């Protein structure tokens, strides 16, 4: 291994991530460089994949030095560009085909069905531009209620629970209007891959219909290093009562040990079968406590940025450590329970409006005072005065996130108490509210 400084290129590198990266183990021997501006992949819904790949390629070719690693922490479009760039420059990554077996939702379900059929819902692909789509879904054996989502989505966008034909046609209207924002650039990625004919016929403009699954939701964070699958942490995803919107992510998980062990076993089985390698991933699961059944919801081909601070608070280092180590060909050096807190969470402070205009957000001074009064807390406001909530990118279909709040505590109970006290002082105001 080279003893010199190693150049790590981060797609969409922003100041927030740079600060975290500089604290990783071994970071003194790395030099972090951004490629593709963060605003091109974060605060937009328009992704010109071909142009971004060309821009990144030019920047890397022009770099005066070695390209030792190319990484990213974002879902689409970053995750899907990484294998293409890494192959071009000979750096470590999983193959594009193995990545698409995770990210192309139909292909992913087909592959999962081959090895863990009892842990996935009934599913079928359909064309939202087909006027007979609802009939075809019924012919495939799916009946109300079911869930629909694009073949490739980002976050919870364009995901809908369907209880009636009216629900379906409302969802179809939204999907027809907006699906191209992800489908067109995703199809650009598919052109780079060798796809089976059955999968090539189901492009980014298609959707999935799936049997409703539910229960206690969590995420297994893991990686594969030279074929060895390692699950190093499980994070709970807790929702607001009666709605689909997330309330907070909590680490470590409160699930029974036997359930966590079973999820790790399923993770090992499916990731080996996919052929995923030398990269980080996370898998979202449900545990249906009534049926005592584990469901695999979806596979993501990256660490979760939302979890970085949680691992830092509880284990002592952000799980970005995993991404950097793997990209440099090293087995990840993640500590365990060496952080300052026994439990940590990322909270989503939301409003459940159809729309509104923000008239007031907490000032910098108010945010700083709250962070001082609750040590370890990080508050990231997501809105600005005068902003219409419907202009926020990457929201779910039911609410708007006003702020992300990371906190640590000595117990889950104290964590919630502290959050309630903080929120009472974090004041937003609105006008033109549509309920």
Instruction: Render pLDDT for 213-260 as a digit per residue (tens, 0 to 9).
Output: 999 999 999 999 999 999 999 999 999 988 879 999 999 999 999 999
Same domain, 322 and 389: yes
Confidence of residue 156 (pLDDT cuts 50, 70, 90): low
- The three-state secondary structure class of 57 is helix
Structure tokens at 338: 């060496």
In a domain, 176, yes or no: yes
Same domain, 202 and 138: yes
Question: How many folded domains does the chain comprise?
Answer: 3
Higher pLDDT, 32 or 17: 32
Alpha-carbon gap, residue 147 to 163, rounded angstroms: 9
In a domain, 113, yes or no: no
The whole-number average pLDDT for the span 142-166 is 91
Alpha-carbon gap, residue 409 to 375, rounded angstroms: 9
Same domain, 186 and 157: yes
Report the percent of the chain where pLDDT is more than 90.
Answer: 91
Q: In this predicted structure, what is the pLDDT of residue 3?
A: 55
Q: What is the pLDDT of residues 350-371, one digit of tens each?
A: 999 999 999 999 999 999 999 9
Structure tokens at 105: 């939702």
In a domain, 153, yes or no: yes
In a domain, 61, yes or no: yes
Q: What is the pLDDT of residues 379-398, one digit of tens each?
A: 999 999 999 999 998 788 78
Same domain, 74 and 154: no
In a domain, 106, yes or no: no
| Domain with 409 in it | 216-434
Alpha-carbon gap, residue 8 to 5, rounded angstroms: 10
Same domain, 142 and 230: no
Same domain, 344 and 406: yes
In a domain, 115, yes or no: no
Alpha-carbon gap, residue 45 to 56, rounded angstroms: 19
Instruction: Choose one of 211, 234, 268: the last residue of a domain.
Output: 211
Q: Which uninterrupted H or E stretch holds 345?
A: strand 343-351
Same domain, 250 and 182: no
CATH number for the domain spanning 188: value is 3.30.1490.20
Q: In this predicted structure, what is the pLDDT of residue 1?
A: 43
* Four-residue CA torsion sign, 392, 394, 397, 400: negative
Q: Is the pTM of this model over 0.85?
A: yes
Q: In this predicted structure, what is the pLDDT of residue 56?
A: 97
Beta bridge partners of 335: none
Same domain, 58 and 170: no
């Amino acid at each position: 291994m080279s003893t010199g400084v190693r150049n790590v290129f981060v797609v969409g590198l922003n100041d927030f991530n740079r600060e975290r990266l500089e604290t990783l183990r071994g970071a003194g021997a790395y030099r972090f460089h951004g490629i593709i501006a963060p605003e091109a992949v974060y605060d937009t819904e328009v992704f010109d994949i071909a142009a971004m790949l060309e821009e990144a390629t030019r920047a890397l070719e022009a770099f005066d030095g070695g390209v030792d690693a190319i990484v990213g922490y974002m879902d689409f479009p970053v995750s899907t560009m990484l294998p293409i760039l890494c192959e071009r420059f000979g750096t470590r990554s999983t193959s594009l085909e193995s990545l698409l077996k995770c990210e192309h939702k139909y292909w992913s379900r087909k592959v999962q069905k081959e090895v863990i059929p009892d842990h996935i819902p009934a599913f079928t692909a359909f064309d939202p531009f087909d006027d007979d789509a609802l009939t075809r879904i019924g012919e495939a054996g799916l009946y109300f209620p079911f869930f629909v989502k694009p073949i490739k989505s980002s976050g919870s966008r364009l995901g809908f629970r369907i209880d009636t034909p009216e629900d379906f046609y409302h969802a179809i209207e939204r999907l027809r209007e907006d699906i191209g924002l992800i489908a067109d650039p995703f199809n650009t990625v598919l052109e780079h891959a060798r796809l089976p004919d059955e999968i090539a016929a189901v492009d980014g403009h298609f959707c999935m219909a799936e049997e409703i699954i539910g229960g206690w939701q969590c995420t297994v964070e893991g990686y594969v290093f030279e074929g060895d699958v390692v699950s190093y942490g499980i994070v709970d995803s807790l929702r607001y009562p009666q709605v689909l919107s997330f309330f907070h992510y909590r680490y470590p998980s409160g699930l029974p040990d036997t359930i966590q062990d079973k999820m790790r076993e399923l993770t090992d089985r499916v990731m080996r079968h996919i052929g995923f390698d030398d990269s980080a991933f996370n898998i979202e699961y449900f545990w249906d406590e009534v049926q005592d059944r584990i469901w695999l919801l979806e596979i993501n081909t990256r660490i979760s940025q939302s979890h970085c601070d949680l691992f830092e608070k509880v284990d002592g280092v952000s799980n970005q450590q995993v991404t950097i180590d793997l990209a440099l060909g090293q087995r990840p050096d993640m500590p365990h329970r060496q952080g300052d807190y026994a439990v940590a969470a990322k909270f989503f402070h939301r409003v459940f409006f159809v729309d509104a205009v923000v008239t007031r957000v907490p000032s910098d001074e108010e945010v700083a005072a709250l962070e001082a009064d609750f040590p370890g807390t990080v508050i990231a406001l997501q809105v600005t005065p005068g902003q219409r909530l419907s202009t926020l990118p990457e929201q779910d279909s039911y609410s708007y996130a006003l702020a992300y709040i990371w906190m640590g505590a000595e117990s889950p109970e104290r964590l919630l108490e502290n959050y309630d006290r903080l929120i009472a002082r974090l004041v937003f105001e609105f006008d033109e509210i549509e309920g």
